[in-house]
Structure 1
Amino acid sequence: MSAVRFDYWGERVLITGAAGLIGRALVARFTECGADVMAVDRDADGLKVFRHVPRVTTVAGDLAREDVADDVFARLDRVGGLDVLVNNAAITEVRTPFIDIDAPLWDSVIAANLRSAYLLSVRAVRRWSDAGRGGTIISLSSPGGSRAHDDQSAYDVTKAGIEAISRAIAVELGGQGIRANCIAPASVVGEIRPATDLPSGRTTAPEEVADAALYLASPAASQLNGHVLRVDGGLHARLRTDPSQEQLRDA
């Protein structure tokens, strides 16, 4: 898939969770469009994929820690600041029934997915507000932000929280030209394949998520604020996700 044509030359973009599937696509799309990207992830080895990519600098660290968030923004301050923040980092692999999840596991998911997004977002908006300038935040949500997955209660809580943070930023700081929106993708895999639970009939490519981010960060989306863009093949529109249940009717 070719990149949508957006111009980000001279802009500085911070992308978290950069070593993952969606993260790599985000870095590729923004750099293809000219941005200077800081790619951050806890996985130092995973960041090595960007070693020879022009206009990409990497930082390995746990963004749920304030000292790491402070270090990231100190680095950005030295190179001229930040224009776009993409909160993509998340723990997605935890599958534990709510009745069984313990406090340490719960806290680890909340920290990785929600606390990290808060720590970076609040630092970004403070800088933009103090400088009297605008900026854009894009955070990765999920269908779980408004509906429940089986055995992913902590994950779903973090995605609902990220959507709530985005709305708060939009309402409180939108008048200063600061925008915060979310992307809620579904069934993102490296190679597109059939998916009977999505009305589109196929899975979502990570590049499609990245193209949505390019749009949301651009002037073309200047009137979108506090919005959730669902890149989900129609999943959220469907009453039931199990095609075998389609013959059932509500009372």
Structure 2
Amino acid sequence: MSAVRFDYTGERVLVTGAAGLIGRALVRRFADAGAAVLAVDVDAGGLAVHDGDPRVATMPGDLAREDVADAVFARVARDGGLDVLVNNAAMTGLRTPFIDIDAGVWDAVIAANLRSAYLLSVRAVRHWRDAGRGGTIVSLSSPGGSRAHEDQSAYDVTKAGIEALSRAIAVELGGLGIRANCIAPASVGGEVRPATDLPAGRTTAPEEVADAALFLASPAASQLNGHVLRVDGGLHARLRTDPSEERRRESEDAGPRR
């Protein structure tokens, strides 16, 4: 997929979940647009995919921990500040019927997906407030933020929470020039394939999600705040989908799905 042209020269971008499929595309697109990117992920080995790119610095850590969030923003301060935060870190693979979820599993999903976004977002907005300047947060949601997946109740709750968090930031801090928006992608895989359950007829490339993030973080989206941008091939517009097709495709796809 050819990149959408945005200029982030001189800007500093923090991307979480940077070792995953969407995270790698986010880091690459922002770096290609001229940004200096700090790529963070709990998977230290996975961050090696960014080795050798002088535009990208990496930092491993569990972003659901306050001390790790503090360390990330200490580095942000040392590196000259922050312009864009992209909350992409998430635990996506767990599929358990709600009736079978124990509290430990529930808490782990909430921590990985929602607590991490809160810890970084609150530090970002404090950083911008204290610097007397604005900034932009882009968070990854999902169709599950507004509609239920089968056997993913904890995941869906976190995505609805991320959308609510973005609206709260927009309402409370928009007057300071701080924007917070979400992307809700559907059926993201490493290879674009036919998909009969999506009106577009195909799955979503991770680069298409990253291009949406570049748009939302740019001046072209300056009047978008508290918004959910659905990069889903028309999935949300359709009244009913074919769950058997969705499950079949998921079983074939080794990559994470939103």
Question: Aligning the two structures, in what range does the TM-score lie when normalised by the shorter sequence?
Answer: over 0.9
> 2:49 & 2:150 partners in 1: Cα distance?
33
1:76-225 to 2 correspondence within 5 Å? 76-225=76-225
1:31-70 to 2 correspondence within 5 Å? 31-70=31-70
> 1:150 & 1:242 partners in 2: Cα distance?
12
The residue number in structure 2 matching 1:247 is none
> 1:218 & 1:106 partners in 2: Cα distance?
35
> 1:243 & 1:198 partners in 2: Cα distance?
11
Tell me the secondary structure at the aligned position of residue 125 of structure 1.
helix
Instruction: For residue 54 of structure 1, report the CA deviation from its aligned partner.
Output: 2.0
- Cα deviation per residue 1:134-153 (whole Å; 9 max; x = unaligned)? 00000000000000001000
> 1:201 & 1:2 partners in 2: Cα distance?
20
In structure 2, runs of 5+ residues without a counterpart are: 245-258
> 2:32 & 2:5 partners in 1: Cα distance?
9
User: Does structure 2 retain, via aligned residues, the 8 Å contact 1:5–1:33?
Assistant: yes
Q: Which amino acid aligns with 2:200?
A: S
Q: Which amino acid aligns with 1:168?
A: A
Instruction: For residue 130 of structure 1, report the CA deviation from its aligned partner.
Output: 1.6
Cα distance 1:124–1:243, how it changes in 2: closer, same or farther (>3 A)?
Answer: closer
Instruction: For residue 243 of structure 1, report the CA deviation from its aligned partner.
Output: 8.7
RMSD (CA atoms): 0.9
Instruction: For residue 45 of structure 1, report the CA deviation from its aligned partner.
Output: 0.6
Identity %: 84
The residue number in structure 1 matching 2:16 is 16
In structure 1, runs of 5+ residues without a counterpart are: 245-251
Cα distance 1:243–1:128, how it changes in 2: closer, same or farther (>3 A)?
Answer: closer
Tell me the secondary structure at the aligned position of residue 160 of structure 1.
helix
- Cα deviation per residue 1:195-215 (whole Å; 9 max; x = unaligned)? 010000000000000000000
The residue number in structure 2 matching 1:6 is 6
Tell me the secondary structure at the aligned position of residue 99 of structure 1.
helix
Q: Which amino acid aligns with 2:34?
A: G
